[in-house]
Amino acid sequence: MPAGTDDLSPRPRGVLRGAALTLVFAGVLATAAATGALPRQEPASAERRPAAPAPRGSTVDPAALNRAAAAAMADGKSGTEAAEEFVSRSGDRWGAVYDKKEYAEFERALDGTYTGVGLSAGRAGRDGVRITRVQPGGPAARAGLRAGDRLASVDGRPVAGLSVSEVVALLRGDGVPGTSVVLRVERGRTAWTQTLRRARLATEPVTVRRYDDGTLLIRVAAFTKGAGARVREAVRAAPSGAGVLLDLRGNSGGLVSEAAVAASAFLDGGLVATYDVEGEQRAVYAERGGDTGRPLVALIDGGTMSAAELLTGALQDRGRAVTVGSRTFGKGSVQMPSTLPDGSVAELTVGHYRTPAGHAVDGRGITPDLTAGERAEERARTVLSGLGGGS
């Protein structure tokens, strides 16, 4: 199971949030026309035509949704809750409703900031949750918490039996900087209670390091604003001939525009993906000038989602990278925002995207060229060495 992180998960609200909001980017291939994530108009050379059949998705009529919310408000009830119930009954797997506060936090996350305590969590055994990473300079780091510590409870609630996303939601709370959260922490035979104050923190979507053999490891956690440029800069700065290990494991997606920029680091223009919006097919293209000769291996797993799958599909279909790991999540649908009468925002599925070779991703995922489990990174480095990218 991919690790969760308190910088990538909004606070669940009701049953609907279980699937749609486990990760802040999970439901957003095209999040927000507000952020211009997807092109509104294609270049003159882009052909628009009726979309090919895609997996079943949206059944939500935005006008009917607005009417339901307005009717609830007229009766003195919550328009947001009425919208949530409407979407949850619709069959739109990735549909979600955010109140004003949640959507503001959502947009800040796409900008690369979040409110939290600066730690990532993952499953430890059957029921346990452990800290997998502590962000330098964050509240958790200042309190001396370490990767490997176990969380026993959050604000008095035992974490045994909770999903990682539920634990992360407790860590985030209402997303208000300065509020406190009380953790029960275990390290070996020692246990203690630690109170942390949430803070506004910057995400680290891209980290880069170099192995002793010269191989460059580029790990992309999410495609927030600027992530694509960071990938491109890292590739341009790498020594000539050095292989690249592009780690997309646990990448929950983000902005398609950033995934396209990342693709441009390795492709000399051309198609990245096609997508349909209400029956009209459009396309995403890479920019010209990418490094097409450098050995490249992409690491993927079940936590590789949405925009990260879009990038994986482009690199795989176009023969630019060898993919290693396990089948990706299979989130290939397109959401667009719709503002409701009370100011809340509904993200509704309007279409699906396909890889350059025409493969559908939604509900299917992408199968790697080489399947690998716990030793996936080691296998990936071996493959990269065979391609001439390491010793």
Side chain identity at residue 104, one-letter code: A
Structure tokens given for 48: 């628009």
Catalytic residue among 120, 306, 333, 344: 306
Are the CB atoms for 355 and 367 separated by under 8 Å? no
306 is catalytic: yes
338 is catalytic: no
Q: What Cα–Cα distance (Å) separates residue 75 from each residue in 38, 70, 72, 82, 344?
A: 37, 9, 5, 11, 17
Per the document, the length of the chain is 391
Are the CB atoms for 32 and 107 separated by under 8 Å? yes
Catalytic residue among 88, 326, 331, 338: 331
Q: So which residues are the catalytic ones?
A: 306, 331
